[in-house]
């Protein structure tokens, strides 16, 4: 496996979707190549940073409105439920 091939397999490696054979080759390359080791590490850092971006959320009036709509819906469709 060359470095150019290695860098294309990183997501598959992290998702655990490489075949056993590919995975063995990937691990063997990783153990010997500081450049690819660094690339993999930087890929992990990138994923970690993406995960730290704040999630989008509904505005709180919007959320309240929905909960109100749910209460109304419940009342309308299930008058006996409380």
Between 21 and 57, CB nearer to another protein: 57
- Closest approach of Cβ 30 to another protein, in Å? 13
Q: Is 24 in the site for another protein (CB under 8 A)?
A: no
How many residues are given for the chain?
Answer: 82
Which long-range contacts (C-beta less than 8 Å, at least 24 apart) are formed by 1-8? Answer: 1/25, 1/26, 1/28, 1/29, 3/29, 3/33, 3/35, 3/36, 3/39, 6/30, 6/33, 6/36, 6/39, 7/36, 7/39
Q: Is 30 in the site for another protein (CB under 8 A)?
A: no
Question: Which spans of this chain sit near another protein (rule: CB under 8 A)?
Answer: 2-5, 7-8, 10-12, 15, 17, 33-36, 38-39, 42-43, 45-47, 49-53, 55-59, 62-63, 65-67, 69-71, 73-74, 77-78, 81
């Amino acid at each position: 496996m060359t470095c150019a091939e290695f860098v294309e397999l990183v997501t598959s490696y992290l998702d655990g979707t490489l075949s056993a054979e590919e995975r063995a080759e990937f691990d063997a390359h990783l153990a010997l190549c500081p450049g690819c080791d660094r690339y993999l590490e930087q890929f992990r850092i990138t994923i970690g940073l993406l995960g730290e971006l704040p999630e989008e959320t509904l505005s709180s009036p919007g959320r309240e409105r929905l909960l109100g709509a749910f209460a109304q819906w419940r009342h309308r469709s299930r008058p006996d439920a409380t």
